Amino acid sequence: MITKKYFRTLVHRFIFLSIAFTLVLLSQENQKYWIYFKDKGEYSQQAGILQKGTTAYSLATQQLTESALTRRAKVLPVDQLVDYQDLPLNESYIKSIQQIGGELQQKVRWMNAASFFLSTDQIIQIQNLPFVEAVKPVARFYRKDLIDTGEGVNNSFQKTLGFDYGLSMAQYAAVKIPEVHELGINGEGVLVGMLDTGFRWRLHESLKNTNVIAERDFINNDDTTANQPGDPNGQDSHGTLTMSIVGSNMPGKVIGPAFKSNFILAKTEYVPTETQIEEDWWAAGIEWMESRGVDVVSSSLGYNIFDNGLGYRWENGDFDGKTGVTTKAAARAARLGVVVVTAMGNESNGDGIRGTLMCPADADSILSVGAISIAGNLASFSSTGPTNDGRVKPDVVAPGVSVYSGVIPGPSTYGYSQGTSASTPITAGVAALLLSARYELTPVQVRDALRNTTDRVEVSRFPAHPNNFVGWGRVNALKAICYPSIHSIDRSLSNYYIANYVGKSGGILGDSVYLVFSSNMVSYDTLKMDKYFGSSNSSNGSYRVFLPAMSVGAKVSFYIIAVDSSKQFIRFPQESSKAYLFSYGSTQIILDTLEQPQLPTKFELSQNYPNPFPTPFNPGTTIRFDSPSSCEGTIIVYNLLGEKVLSLHNGLIREGINYFYWNTRNNQGIEVPSGIYFCQIRTNSFVADRKMVLIR
């Protein structure tokens, strides 16, 4: 007779033997590993920056498109665009691993590593190879996805002047995207990359007209990111949803922020095993996108714990911005000029001391995005910071609850979703809008513009801002577009220019844009801002001005004023008591209380600078005129014969210190020859002139 106790004993033994047998099978099964190499054949880590004209330089640039090199030039000196990490892996090393029996999966130049399926016996052999640095497991992660099947939110106001956002209006209105669209900014000229599960973009009506320049399936190693035979039904669901949020163009249903951008797509996540993702696919995907010139990468994927109890853990200090493979790849892309926007994760709110974020949200110089409701409340699922090295995360938050978009199966199916997977593409779309207006901005400048123009989001437990729940606050696309940026145009920091977007649907009077600034070296300056065309044929509302040379470290505060076509006065920032502040020699701008400057006490025309001109860093010359009060006046440039060359200014001269810029052209727009010229200023009560020397 079998007693209950004996039966329980048999069951326990059976369970134990089953677990043991499973572990044996797992130990015998080939697993995926990183093989890190010591060098790249004849090229070692000491190669560093590659010199133009060398074989190594040619080999490295073959991996990159011209647009990738152009984008890198925004953040790197022209003679340092490629380095050792751009060189391809040594193929003889790869073949040696394959001869031992390793099954190649991905090659990642940046890491000087490749992933292989290997057995335990093969690992032992490979570790002894003279060119192998290390063998480490490839991380396999699990991502939590949240799908909201509710009815969404009230969208009583769905249309702006020229756009009908349908049920997506509320999510975009919360971050001022419709206002930016009304300015004519729509993401045009920007290449947006999506790293996700797959994309059914060719079939869905909201995406089928999107300009996709390339796509790559890193799981099956082909060029199709939509579902294929063998894929589960939902494989391309998540990617279709996130792509629709950022790039849809279906009036009456969804119009995404960057609907005119170009797209490059990478399928890097395997859905069937509880949304499993392996880090080698992600790293290979972002490296591929960077090499093809991507400007913004949106990744709604986050990774922490993976199989066998291993993983990146807060307790181990792994979220420090330099441990995770995807974190290192994201940081590398940012250093090469890519704006990387990634999800914080859906691991719930922490306590503000121990972070719940996931890789690669801990990377530096990128934008990590948390989720709030459309009403502005922190979502309970949104992961929080800080990083292990004490940095505030997230950087910003955006709507991530009841976000409307196209969904599979299509071609005309739509629905609501929630998660940082939804807030991330909204933020990536705003970044694309900012680059569409101001392509010269670097990733850090884009990050700072979005951080410093946020709308405050209150968290009762942590009232200080920024904090590890909502970062700097909710993204505001319109404020970010108008936020000024500072660019050094010479390495000695002796010349700067400030650029910002001051466009408006009513139009800006082109000659009305001025920058007013003061410093601990200059009491009060008024600089006229001119349209800035950057690398495009249209300024798209962007204006810039050159600052006079100052000592590094000088404190400068400024604000920008303009008049629109309806004669309305505009000021940036809007608060009259506020101004932008920076230290000369730095590109970091903060918003601060304005110190009221002292006005000049007399009329004075200063010597132009530079003189002689032009110089390698300044194609023209600047003329300064101090005026104790506003007055009417003219500024005329004459040649040595007394002939009028140019009427530089005719009209109101503002009180303060005024700057007028001559680009060496005459009234007909033709460059004048070398010679001596005279600048004369004339008001009702003052006349003066200065001699200027032009040498070409």
CATH of residue 514's domain is 2.60.40
515: pLDDT confidence band, cut at 50, 70 and 90? confident
What's residue 621's pLDDT? 83
163 with 327: CB under 8 angstroms? no
What's residue 546's pLDDT? 83
Strand-pair partners of 471: 467
Statement: residue 275 has pLDDT above 60: no
Q: Give percent of the chain above pLDDT 90.
A: 55
533: pLDDT confidence band, cut at 50, 70 and 90? low
Claim to verify: residue 652 and residue 586 sit in the same structural domain: no
CATH number of the domain that residue 310 is part of: 3.40.50.200
Q: Cα(574)–Cα(568) distance, rounded to whole angstroms?
A: 13
Output the six-digit token pair for 614: 């032009």
Residue 5 lies in a domain: no
What's residue 232's pLDDT? 84
230: pLDDT confidence band, cut at 50, 70 and 90? confident
What's residue 687's pLDDT? 95
Q: Cα(87)–Cα(50) distance, rounded to whole angstroms?
A: 9
Claim to verify: residue 470 and residue 498 sit in the same structural domain: no
Claim to verify: residue 104 and residue 243 sit in the same structural domain: no
89: pLDDT confidence band, cut at 50, 70 and 90? very high
Claim to verify: residue 188 and residue 332 sit in the same structural domain: yes
Residues 6+ apart with CB under 8 A from 72: 81, 336, 337
Sign of CA dihedral 374, 375, 376, 378: negative
CATH number of the domain that residue 105 is part of: 3.30.70.80
Q: What are the DSSP E strand ranges found in 159-314? A: 191-196, 211-217, 249-250, 254-255, 262-267, 269-270, 276-278, 296-299
Residue type, 293: G
What's residue 493's pLDDT? 47
Statement: residue 24 has pLDDT above 60: no
Q: Which of 481, 516, 545 is the last residue of a domain?
A: 481
Residue 161 lies in a domain: no
Residue 17 lies in a domain: no
CATH number of the domain that residue 649 is part of: 2.60.40.4070
What's residue 354's pLDDT? 92
What's residue 577's pLDDT? 75
Gyration radius from the chain CA atoms: 29
Average of pLDDT values for 255-272? 91
Residue 252 lies in a domain: yes
What's residue 4's pLDDT? 38
Statement: residue 5 has pLDDT above 50: no
What's residue 521's pLDDT? 57
Strand-pair partners of 137: 33
Give the three-class secondary structure for 152: coil
| Strand 396-399, strand 367-372: pairing | parallel
Residue 292 lies in a domain: yes
Lowest mean pLDDT among 6-15, 207-216, 246-255, 496-505: 6-15
Q: Is 404 left (phi over 0), alpha (psi -120 to 50) or beta?
A: beta
Statement: residue 666 has pLDDT above 80: yes
Output the six-digit token pair for 397: 């938050």
356 with 348: CB under 8 angstroms? yes
Claim to verify: residue 401 and residue 529 sit in the same structural domain: no
H/E stretch holding 10 = helix 4-28
117 with 31: CB under 8 angstroms? yes
Residue whose C-alpha is closest to residue 530's, from 519, 514, 518, 517: 514
Average of pLDDT values for 448-469? 89
Claim to verify: residue 561 and residue 470 sit in the same structural domain: no
The conformation of residue 47, written as its DSSP 8-state character, comes to G
Quote the Cα angle for 453-458-462, to 5°: 110
Output the six-digit token pair for 443: 């990733």
231 with 334: CB under 8 angstroms? no
CA–chain centroid gap for 193, Å, is 11
What's residue 525's pLDDT? 72
Q: Cα(452)–Cα(432) distance, rounded to whole angstroms?
A: 17
Q: How many CB atoms lie within 10 A of CB 96?
A: 16
Q: Which of 481, 513, 541 is the last residue of a domain?
A: 481
Q: Give percent of the chain above pLDDT 70.
A: 84
Question: What do you get for the CA distance between the two ends of the chain, in Å?
Answer: 110
Statement: residue 304 has pLDDT above 50: no
Lowest mean pLDDT among 25-29, 48-52, 614-618: 25-29
Claim to verify: residue 131 and residue 210 sit in the same structural domain: no
* Of the ranges 256-260, 540-544, 550-554, 617-621, the best mean pLDDT one: 256-260
691: pLDDT confidence band, cut at 50, 70 and 90? very high
The conformation of residue 276, written as its DSSP 8-state character, comes to E
Claim to verify: residue 397 and residue 533 sit in the same structural domain: no
540 with 481: CB under 8 angstroms? no
Which residue reads 């209380």 in tokens? 593
Residue whose C-alpha is closest to residue 341's, from 367, 302, 364, 303: 367
Claim to verify: residue 574 and residue 612 sit in the same structural domain: no
Lowest mean pLDDT among 133-137, 268-272, 476-480, 677-681: 268-272
Residue 22 lies in a domain: no
What's residue 9's pLDDT? 40
105: pLDDT confidence band, cut at 50, 70 and 90? very high
Residue 331 lies in a domain: yes
Q: Cα(350)–Cα(381) distance, rounded to whole angstroms?
A: 10
Claim to verify: residue 230 and residue 356 sit in the same structural domain: yes
Q: Angle 279-291/325-335 helices, nearest 10 degrees?
A: 10
Residue 156 lies in a domain: no
615: pLDDT confidence band, cut at 50, 70 and 90? low
Sign of CA dihedral 277, 280, 286, 292: negative
| Strand 496-501, strand 542-547: pairing | antiparallel
pLDDT tens by residue, 56-85? 999 999 999 999 999 999 899 888 999 999
How many C-alpha atoms does 158 have within 13 Å on its Cβ side? 15
What's residue 599's pLDDT? 72
* Of the ranges 172-181, 573-582, 623-632, the best mean pLDDT one: 172-181
pLDDT tens by residue, 380-416? 999 999 999 999 999 999 999 999 999 999 899 999 9
Statement: residue 1 has pLDDT above 60: no
Q: Cα(546)–Cα(530) distance, rounded to whole angstroms?
A: 10
Statement: residue 555 has pLDDT above 70: yes
Say if pTM beats, i.e. exceeds, 0.75: yes
Claim to verify: residue 617 and residue 670 sit in the same structural domain: yes
Q: Cα(90)–Cα(96) distance, rounded to whole angstroms?
A: 10
Statement: residue 20 has pLDDT above 50: no
Q: Which of 142, 158, 187 is the last residue of a domain?
A: 142
554 with 520: CB under 8 angstroms? yes
Average of pLDDT values for 12-37? 55
pLDDT tens by residue, 473-511? 999 999 999 898 887 655 444 567 788 887 755 567 767
The whole domain housing 128 covers 28-142
Claim to verify: residue 530 and residue 635 sit in the same structural domain: no
Lowest mean pLDDT among 106-120, 613-627, 664-678: 613-627
Sign of CA dihedral 291, 293, 296, 297: negative
Number of domains in the chain: 4
Q: Cα(657)–Cα(367) distance, rounded to whole angstroms?
A: 39
Residue whose C-alpha is closest to residue 202's, from 405, 411, 406: 411
What's residue 302's pLDDT? 55
Rounded to whole angstroms, what are the CA distances from 213 to 190, 261, 648?
Answer: 12, 11, 46
596: pLDDT confidence band, cut at 50, 70 and 90? low
What's residue 139's pLDDT? 77
What's residue 616's pLDDT? 58
Of residues 110 and 655, more confidence is placed in 110
With b for 16 or more beta-carbon neighbours within 10 A and e for fewer, the 225-238 pattern comes to bbbeeebeebbbbb
Q: Cα(215)–Cα(219) distance, rounded to whole angstroms?
A: 12
